[in-house]
Structure 1
Amino acid sequence: MNDIKFGEILLPGDDDTQGSREKTVRKKFWPAFRKAVRHIPFARDLVAAFYCALDPQTPLRVRGILLAALAYFIMPFDMIPDFFAVIGYTDDVAVLAAAFAMVSGNIRPQHYEAADRALADEPIAADM
């Protein structure tokens, strides 16, 4: 991780990188989210970003940025490891906030509706 500059984390990446990130995010997002939800001040935005990143109608560059941020979020060891309780999530929050600022106009009401359903423990559709 020392070789990666903080600003490079949110690079969208090529098709192979995005595909790999999407696979990882699909598999690990919910377990990581459940573990971190008490430490993330914008859980609804995070879940909406998850749905936006997986929405095939989301522009490729936006999907890439969100997948990069979400992949960073689910990594167990990053700049500040998450096992350091509250402080361990500060870098995740910073990366996610930067990603949201870059792409917020692309997170649509349907993504927030899906997030609201997920946070209310309603059945979640796999595809939007």
Structure 2
Amino acid sequence: MDDVKIGEILLPGDEAEQERQSERVRKRFWPVLKRAMRYVPFSRDLVASYYCALDPRTPTKVRGILLAALAYFVLPLDGIPDFFVLVGFSDDIAVLTAAFAAIRGHIREDHYAAADKALADEPDMQPAG
């Protein structure tokens, strides 16, 4: 994926677009994460970003960037379809890494605490390794 494509994916969008992405992410995040756990090297950051994106205290632009990245993550068909297991999540990882760099410092400790709890409470959410 090139920088221009990732930049286009991470556009925060207007309020209506953010609401559509929020609904898509809420509906599909956990099932997709369960499938991706062993392929995504930063699952704790990913889950914390989910909580940050849904937190109304998060600045609108930051929420928009995270929602765009998370919506891309949960899309069934994207740049490289996720059913190509090992390489299927590589484009998602690139988009998420760019989003994390763009919003650095906005994922707070309470988001990480919620992520730790979610990962600990669900046995199939434990990272492989």
TM-score, normalization: structure 1?
A: 0.90
Q: What are the equivalent positions in structure 2 for 1:1-128 lying under 5 Å apart?
A: 5-121=5-121
CA distance in 2, matches of 1:86, 1:49: 23
Structure 1 counterpart of 2:37, one-letter code: V
| Seq. identity, % | 63
RMSD over aligned Cα atoms:
1.2
How far apart are residue 104 of structure 1 and its match? 1.9
Gaps of 5+ in 2: 123-129
Q: CA deviation at 1:6?
A: 3.3
The number of equivalent residue pairs is: 119
TM-score computed with the length of structure 2 as normaliser: 0.90
Q: CA offsets, 1:37-64, max 9 Å, x none? A: 1100000000000000000000000000
What is the alpha-carbon distance in structure 1 between the residues aligned to residue 110 and residue 86 of structure 2? 30
Which blocks of at least 5 consecutive residues in structure 1 are unaligned?
A: 123-128
